[in-house]
Amino acid sequence: MVKQVKDKSEFDQLKSADKVLVVDFTATWCGPCQRIGPKFVEFSSLPEFASLEFIKVDVDEASDISAACGISAMPTFQVFKGGAKVDELVGASDEKLKALLNKFA
């Protein structure tokens, strides 16, 4: 399951939690974001990624979160562990996204 997060305090709480957090920074007007979005949701439901927390952040609805994370292109996927960013992927590649998730599963 993928949770939509719009509140920076909720985002900060999730990224500091024990679980590895995977964030999809997206926008409704972004074609590549819309293409890979369903794949992100699909990956979130796979047993091999059950240890990961998946969230989406719309850069227009939560510009404070995207600005704090330095987002300049979409889609951008960031991985947080213990409050710190540990990895990032920019672009809509299913294969690269799955490889990123496998590194932390």
Average pLDDT (6-13) is 96
Annotated catalytic residue, options 5, 21, 23, 33: 33
Instruction: Answer yes or no: pTM beyond 0.95.
Output: yes
33 is catalytic: yes
69 is catalytic: no
Annotated catalytic residue, options 22, 27, 30, 55: 30
Average pLDDT (24-42) is 98
- The reply to whether CATH 3.40.50.10330 applies to domain 2-104 is no
Summarize pLDDT for 56-97 with one digit per residue, the tens: 999 999 999 999 999 999 999 999 999 999 999 999 999 999
| 3-state SS string for the chain | CEEECCCHHHHHHHHCCCCEEEEEEECCCCHHHHHHHHHHHHHHCCHHHCCEEEEEEECCCCHHHHHHCCCCCCCEEEEEECCEEEEEEECCCHHHHHHHHHHHC
Average pLDDT (7-24) is 96
